[in-house]
Amino acid sequence: MSKILCYIINNEKLYLEQILAEYDYPILYTCIDKNRKRYLAMCVDPEEGRYIVAQTTCQILIKMMRDSIKMIDAFKTAHRIFSVISSSNDISQDIVKPIEFSKISKDDLPEENAYFELLDSEEAIREYIRVLEDEIKEDDIQHYPTFEMIGDFVFSAINQVRMSMNKAYKTYFRFQSYPIIEKTMQYELVDSKHFEEELVYESSFS
């Protein structure tokens, strides 16, 4: 993660990840927070310190850079969009406000029909696309169950069934064995009475 802190939005620090368009200053770039959420940031007016920051996804960024969607669509499809007015020398004092896409002035957005149009020579951005693609693959792998997870699930399911059957069997057995228990208790009482009588009888001879 880069050390260049760009924004603090909802207490999340957004760091510069990749510059996508730059002239004398970065105009379009991506940011990343500690939870690896991605943001597409755009300098609207450097003199006025106005920026638009859109929380987006790796998939949308790749689509934009690969020209599957227009640049403006990356903002249109964003989860959340923020308008930022820079405080010139203290990022924590920036004025950050959520804004709806429909409320953003047309002048503050990319041209309506403009695509990113990645050039063959932009190797750094091509490498960045590969990094994002790898991250998506890793996320997919993490979401697919592993053999270990399947094993755990099957073992847990079998265990649940076994415990349920055991409980049902015990309940059934207990219900069925009540008369036997009662009889056994009666025998035990009789036996103990008989045993006491025997003791009295034996003691009379001693």
Partner 1 sequence: MTEELLDRFADVLKAALQSQLVSFPEDNTIVSDFTPLEPVYRVVRREPNNRFPICIDDFLSHIERYKSGEIIKGVGSESERELQYYSCSFFDNVKSLKRIMNLPKKNKHIIIGSINPENGVIRVSQGSGHIDLWLFKNNMIFAQFSYDTGGDSL
Residue 140 within binding range of partner 1, rule CB under 8 A: no
Nearer to partner 1, 116 or 128 (CB): 116
Q: Does 127 bind partner 1 (CB under 8 A)?
A: no
Q: Which is nearer to partner 1, 58 or 116 (CB)?
A: 116
Q: Rule CB under 8 A: is residue 8 a binding residue for partner 1?
A: no
CA distance 154 to 145: 12
Pairwise CA distance, residues 94 & 91, whole Å? 5
Is residue 16 a contact residue for partner 1 (CB under 8 A)?
Answer: yes
- Kindly write down the DSSP assignment for every residue of the chain, as one continuous string: --S-EEEEETTEEEEEEEEEEESSSEEEEEEE-TT--EEEEEEEETTTTEEEEEEE-HHHHHHHHTTSS-HHHHHHT-SEEEEEE--SS-GGG-EEEE--GGGS-GGGS--TT------TT-HHHHHHHHHHHHHHHHHHHHHSPPHHHHHHHHHHHHHHHHHHHHHHHHHHHHHHHHHHHHHHHHHHHHHHHHHHHHHHHHHTT-
Nearer to partner 1, 50 or 80 (CB): 50
- In angstroms, what is the minimal distance from the CB of 22 to partner 1? 8
- The minimum distance between CB 84 and partner 1, in angstroms, equals 8
Within positions 98 to 117, which residues make up the interface with partner 1, using CB under 8 A? 107-111, 114, 116-117
Question: Is 46 or 59 the residue whose CB approaches partner 1 more closely?
Answer: 46
Report the Cα–Cα distance between both ends of the chain, in Å, rounded: 97
Smallest gap from Cβ 79 to partner 1, in A, equals 20
In the complex, minimum distance from the CB of residue 125 to partner 1, in angstroms, rounded to a whole number: 10
The answer to the question of residue 51 lying near partner 1 (CB under 8 A) is yes
# binding residues, partner 1 (CB under 8 A):
42
Binding site for partner 1 (CB under 8 A): 3-7, 16, 19-21, 23-29, 41-46, 51, 71, 84, 86, 88-89, 91, 107-111, 114, 116-117, 119-123
